[in-house]
Structure 1
Amino acid sequence: MRIVLAAEEREYVAKLAEYLREEEKGWEVAAYSHGSALRMELQSGGKVDALIGDREMAGQALASGGYAGKIIVLEDSDAAAGRGEEGEEAWLTIPRYQPLPALLSCIRGALGNRGAKRNEGCQVWTVFSASGGAGKTTAALNLVRQAGERGLRVLYLNLEELNATSLLFGSGEPDALSRLLYALQARPEQWEELARRLCRHQPHLRADYIDAPEHPGERLALSPEIAAELIGKLRAGNRYDVIVVDPDSGAGEWHAGLLGLSDRVVWLTLDDAQCLRKAEKLLRYWESRLDGLAFKLTFAMNKAVGGRPVNRWTLPGDLPAVALPYIPQWKATDHPGKWLASPAYSGAAEKLLDVLSGSTDGRGRREEGHGGQRSRDRGAG
């Protein structure tokens, strides 16, 4: 894959190019800080998969007529949103000033998001972990809540073999999934009406959900093909902007199929040597089988304590893109609703949502990110 970086700040573009080359060995990265050199590159007719850079330089590329590929604009965190040049509505924007791992995650998401408009724009985000006990459901629910608070239409879909979400949602209708699957295969004309009734709204979560099965048999019988058909039908109805899937951990064909059809994957880890090692081995196994998986991944460390991880980070990126804090009070809680009531955890989940959605709203994180001090050295690339 050939990536062209284009930004007037020479120090910024050089540092970002060096980081991308280190982290993504399969990418060929060219960097330019002068418009004339960029135009020559684009008009040469060589292959360019994506142009990532300043809005002004991207506009020059569009005006030159030599490039019609993907454009990802680096926006200042306080930049006003809006449309400019003709065709600019198709550009994706990501925040310029953020930690390099988070910036890379945004770029991966934008590159892997070529089909973001398909199925009326509905995205599938899967929260996954190679190990049990990583706090996947807590992370997924908080991500759902933050997305709902931003006004997104969200469906939370729990597909664990065994789950305890009834503690939060109530007993509900435990046959919901089996009824939907039956209608999907035997009564397709009843699907829409049934889905409207069985996708119930949870006000505190600010999202819809489907009651999970009471027993594991329904989930254990769910093949990769049927799961894909179910999720495809849910996303095709134009009812949701995002479907957040919460599966169990595992390395089977079912899990690989789910990650393959997802638009974004939040890969959750702990600061634990065994958890990191399992994630590393599974990722290496799947990368050769799932085309484009690397572009979908956002690594998040859950139950994080303090600053940098104690254990050596062996997964892609210098550090996880987001650290979700350890909340000691949750160990003794008897009310799962409290999982959504921690300001510290909610703030980290909001940052995760920023990374997944490529939001230009930096929430004041410029001082801790890449390029926090603007270079005055604006030379030729």
Structure 2
Amino acid sequence: MDPVRLVLAVQDPPYAEAVLNYVQSCDDATRLQIAAFTRLDALQQYKEKGKQHDLVVLDGAMLEAWRGLELPLIPGRWIYLSDGSIDPVAEHEVAVPKYQPIPELLSGWLARAGRSVHSSHTGRELRSGGTHVLGMVSAIGHCGKTMIAMSIARQLAELGCRVLYLNLEMLNSSEQLLSEERLQGGKSSFSRLLYDLKVLQENGEEIDLEPYIVRKEALKCDGLVGGAEVKEMLEMNADDTAALLGALQGLNRYDMIVVDNDGLNQKLLQAVTRHADELLWVLTADHTGQWKTGKWIQHLGTQEMNGTDFAAKSRFIINRYTPKLDSRKQEITADHVLPMMNSWDGSNLLEQLHTPAFQKEILKLCHELYGTAQSSGAFMDGMRGGGR
């Protein structure tokens, strides 16, 4: 069957980029050909060439421009992306919410064109209901773990997943990477949270986590970060960590909690290992990094984990991968690789988080881990939202 030829016209480059990246990385890429336009002049040139299409999808601004060019809108062959208001011309046609999970958008578009989506996925879908916990760990420093953790959180949030980014590093590097300043006042201190967690463990009294949760606009999701001082994190033990994760899951607010942990605090690492649905080990291809990772895994495998199948949870990512590494003997077989990005030379770390090529690789990683979760309840309303 020939692919559906679709014109996507939106004056919102990040929106168009998110849709294109998704289509290019999913199994149904051959079923859909998208010509995306965010500028009126490019759209006009496309139409002047007499290109044919099966369906046109427009937002309000592009709908006005389309009519201004006196281009035809064939009944039954166009969709209006609504931001809440209804255009008079669109009210008798199909109007769909502009911001919703991308898989649902594509299903609606293909259905309008008389097609259906039947995808198969090798990854494990996020379970419907409940809160999934992804633990990010590494036995080495400067491997890009926190950047990957934040990128996964942001990508899942943009797909419509309700995400919390939880940083439990001994020294929280995310605030430095995001050029954030720790809030003074307004939000309760981490020491207070530790006290509340101990009260929770002693008498089961529910605690209010709201004062500790902040919105991280750069990640499009909520966040909760550890203490500002090393001594605060040293006070946190495995039971505190388990109580925190349990309380966050008990909120039933999030589909995914991305836990950014390091290997310096074994007590926290063991607690995260027990609670996580998956553990992503980030390493590099050099011998020393793989040796250290192997030693940590060997050690954790000997610890009492209350029946936890540690090996079954573990996945391995080699970051900053280059083709020349294929010739090296790898001590650990990687489940995923993330390439070296030459464009990162000289850029600050916040810019790296928004690098399109890197985000495309992160999107592929999310697909490999969880599929697109098209049939699960995990990806909720608001393609860009996440969190509250």
Which TM-score tier does this pair reach, normalised by the shorter chain?
A: 0.5 to 0.7
Of the three residues 332, 337, 343, the one matched with 2:350 is 337
Aligned residues with identical type, % of pairs? 27
Of the three residues 164, 168, 186, the one matched with 1:159 is 168
1:311 paired residue number: 328
CA offset at residue 205 of structure 1?
Answer: 0.8
1:357 paired residue number: 370
Larger radius of gyration: 2
1:171 paired residue number: 182
Deviation readout 1:234-293 (Å, 9 max, x if unpaired): 111011111101112247243122112111111111011111111122223323444312
Give the partner amino acid of 1:163.
Answer: N
2:290 aligned with 1:269, yes or no?
Answer: no
Alignment check: 8 A CA contact 1:176 1:212 kept: no
Q: Distance in 1 between matches of 2:354 and 2:336?
A: 19
Of the three residues 118, 132, 136, the one matched with 1:127 is 136
CA offset at residue 323 of structure 1?
Answer: 1.4
CA offset at residue 151 of structure 1?
Answer: 0.6
TM norm structure 1: 0.59
Alignment check: 8 A CA contact 1:166 1:172 kept: no
Q: Distance in 1 between matches of 2:192 and 2:328?
A: 45
Q: Secondary structure at the match of 1:298?
A: strand
Alignment check: 8 A CA contact 2:285 2:321 kept: yes
Q: Which residues of 2 match residues 47-126 of structure 1 at below 5 A?
A: 77-78=27-28, 95=120, 106=123, 116=127, 120-126=129-135
Q: Distance in 1 between matches of 2:326 and 2:274?
A: 29
Alignment check: 8 A CA contact 2:319 2:339 kept: yes
Residues 359 and 295 (structure 1), Cα distance of their counterparts in 2 relative to 1, 3 Å cut: farther
Q: Distance in 1 between matches of 2:269 and 2:205?
A: 29
Residues 253 and 182 (structure 1), Cα distance of their counterparts in 2 relative to 1, 3 Å cut: closer
Q: Secondary structure at the match of 1:156?
A: strand
Q: Considering only aligned residues, what root-mean-square deviation do their CA atoms show, in Å?
A: 3.0
Q: Which residues of 2 match residues 1-381 of structure 1 at below 5 A?
A: 77-78=27-28, 95=120, 106=123, 116=127, 120-167=129-176, 168=178, 169-173=180-184, 176-186=189-199, 191-192=207-208, 195-250=209-264, 252-289=266-303, 290=305, 291-306=308-323, 308-315=325-332, 317=333, 320-330=334-344, 332-334=346-348, 336-359=349-372
Residues 215 and 124 (structure 1), Cα distance of their counterparts in 2 relative to 1, 3 Å cut: same
Deviation readout 1:65-101 (Å, 9 max, x if unpaired): xxxxxxxxxxx9339999xxxxxxxxxx9945xxxxx
- State which drifts further: 278-287 or 174-183: 174-183
Deviation readout 1:306-357 (Å, 9 max, x if unpaired): 3654532222x4xx222112234545334x3213111121111112211222
Structure 1, unmatched stretches of 5+, are 1-75, 83-92, 97-102, 362-381
Q: Distance in 2 between matches of 1:128 and 1:142?
A: 15
Give the partner amino acid of 2:224.
Answer: I
Q: Secondary structure at the match of 1:191?
A: coil
Structure 2, unmatched stretches of 5+, are 1-25, 32-102, 108-117, 375-388
Q: Distance in 1 between matches of 2:310 and 2:27?
A: 28
Give the partner amino acid of 2:153.
Answer: V
2:80 paired residue number: none
Q: Secondary structure at the match of 1:170?
A: coil
User: How many pairs are equivalent?
Assistant: 254
TM norm structure 2: 0.58
